[in-house]
Amino acid sequence: MDLYQARTKGGFGVKDVSAAKFIAVYSQHLKNSGQIQLPKWVSLVKTNKAKELPPNDPDWFYIRLASIARKLYLRPNHGVRRMKKVYSSKQRRGSKPGRYSKGSGAIIRYAVQQLQKLEILELNKEKGARNLTKKGRKELDLIARQVAVGHIKQEPKEVDELKTNQEDNQENDEKDI
């Protein structure tokens, strides 16, 4: 979608932006805001019982917060139970067949509570699920618009690290010549 189409259709939304770019930028925004209180167990906990180790990325909790906010933007009225299914994986059991394993409910519950404190999410009492507030939807759309137009040029860490490695290799090649 180009700028002309965005202006005629009412602007960019979260659906118009790459998920990886949006989550990377929004997680950085949450980290820089300083309003998220990380739990004490963030460096120790596994994200799923099927995982062997905790995540390697020190900012994984901010990434999970951004991912949950995006999921609830795209599909409202999800509770912790449905989000556990979203973050599930296959549990490997050696020579036996693998099994389905749900994601950690404690991590999702804590993340949702933090997003509720920021007034990005609210509880839908009729369904017992979470929805985005108007403030939350506006904030996510603003971040998506900035990513789409190019005001923020942040890519996922893997792509960024790959580019720096390629640039370093080019500099080393130039020195050798």
| pLDDT greater than 50 at residue 167 | yes
- What average pLDDT does the chain have? 82
- What are the structure tokens assigned to 150, written together? 């190019």
Q: Distance between CA 146 and CA 141 in Å, rounded?
A: 9
- What are the structure tokens assigned to 146, written together? 């900035």
Q: Distance between CA 163 and CA 49 in Å, rounded?
A: 34
Distances (CA, A) of 3 to 15, 32, 155, 170: 15, 28, 20, 34
**Least-confidence region, from 4-13, 79-88, 113-122:** 4-13
Provide, rounded to the nearest whole percent, the portion of the chain with pLDDT above 70: 79
In contact, 147 and 22? CB cutoff 8 Å: yes
**Least-confidence region, from 31-45, 66-80, 141-155:** 141-155
Q: What is the pTM of this model?
A: 0.77
Span 97-112, mean pLDDT?
Answer: 90
Q: What are phi and psi of 86, to 5 degrees?
A: -65, -40
Which residue has tokens 């901010």? 62
What's the start-to-end Cα distance of the chain, in Å? 43
- What are the structure tokens assigned to 2, written together? 């180009």
All structural domains of the chain, each given as residue ranges with its CATH number in brackets, are 3-176 (1.10.10.10)
Span 120-134, mean pLDDT?
Answer: 89
